[in-house]
Amino acid sequence: MTAWTTPPARVAGEWRCFRQVAPDWPPLYHAAGEPSPSQRSARWHRLGEGYAQYLALEPMGAWAELVRFEGIRGGTRAAQYRRRLWLVFVREREIADLSTFARWADCGLDPRDAVGDHAACQAIADDLRAAGYRGVLSPSAALPGATNLTLFGARYEKVLLGGLESWDNPNPQLRLPCSLAAEGTPPEQLIVETTFVDMPHDGYRAWLRAKGLRAPRGVP
């Protein structure tokens, strides 16, 4: 039995996405000779159960994910996190459209889970993969108003200086063109704009108010 009552819409499209990684890491996550997947658990996958590519549709969204994950709450600490911000061009199909809280509700899913504990999303991801979805669009838990695109499975980068959309991709199901967009530290404004795990999520609360629903106790 799936987590939803109505399957999420399957969308195809092209997205210019952003992903931040440490300078000594490749832009995308793949085996690279590993005997078993070592990518640590996150919202849409569990450690040891394969890979997932966590991308943001906005550059500030990518930075906010780092600020939230590392709990960066001051400029001095932010300066310690130097990262590369990669621009990744994605041309995909069979993407689950859970990009808004309303779309979660339309599917019979709890919109609170979109930005809440990872366990609920990991279970939904199991059902999505079993149903043939190749990824999912979802609200950013770190930056209200931003949207993330997560691709299921390993992907391999093709680093280019430009022309990502025009590159003749020999294997679009596995290869993604990307280019280095910036290298630096998280913008200081995100220290006050990021939603941390112990904070209510403004986007979720705004959706509740618009629907005339009472906000639950606790977070998000």
**Confidence band for 216, pLDDT divided at 50, 70 and 90:** confident
Q: How far is CA 141 from CA 79, 85, 199, in A?
A: 23, 19, 10
In the structure encoding, which two tokens stand for residue 183, read together?
Answer: 């290298």
H/E stretch holding 178? strand 175-184
What SS3 state is found at 187? coil
Q: What is the pLDDT of residue 159?
A: 98
Averaged pLDDT for residues 38-51: 94
**Confidence band for 206, pLDDT divided at 50, 70 and 90:** very high
d(CA 115, CA 196): 11
**By percentage, how much of the chain surpasses pLDDT 90?**
90
pTM above 0.75, yes or no: yes
Over residues 59-70, the pLDDT tens digits come to: 999 999 999 999
| Closest among 219, 203, 206 to 117, alpha carbons compared | 219
Omega of the bond leading into 220 within 30 degrees of 0 (cis): yes
**Confidence band for 183, pLDDT divided at 50, 70 and 90:** very high
